[in-house]
């Protein structure tokens, strides 16, 4: 049942979210646990690791340009910086 639900969610996302040609699993967060957050105050693009202080309070909103990353190198290559805490 869980696998079927996950498959349904994935299919819904693919059908209803406008993605670029380069969009892959990290854009949708499948299997990736680094959160790419955009600051509401400054617009800075900051990524958060699961071990960092504010990781659990960050909610990723793809419609605002926020996304998931599968590795730090991927986040940095996309122009995001690591959260300080």
Measuring CA to CA, which residue among 38, 47, 24, 44 is closest to residue 66? 38
Kindly give the confidence (pLDDT) of every residue in the chain, 85 residues in length, as a single tens digit, with 9 standing for 90 and above. Answer: 445 445 445 544 544 444 443 445 555 556 799 999 999 999 999 999 999 999 999 999 999 999 999 999 999 999 999 999 8
pTM recorded for the entire structure? 0.66
List, in sequence order, every residue forming a beta bridge with 35; answer none if it has no partner: 48, 68
Q: Where are the domains of the chain?
A: 21-82
Cα separation, 37 vs 23, whole angstroms: 17
> Is 7 in contact with 30 (CB distance < 8 Å)?
no
């Amino acid at each position: 049942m869980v696998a079927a639900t996950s498959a349904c969610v994935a299919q819904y996302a693919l059908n209803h979210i406008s993605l670029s040609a380069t969009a892959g699993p990290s854009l949708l967060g499948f299997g990736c646990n680094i959160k790419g957050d955009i600051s509401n105050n400054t617009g800075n693009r900051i990524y958060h690791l699961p071990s960092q202080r504010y990781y659990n309070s960050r909610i990723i909103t793809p419609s605002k340009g926020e996304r998931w990353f599968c590795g730090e190198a991927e986040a940095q290559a996309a122009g995001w910086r690591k959260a300080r805490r």
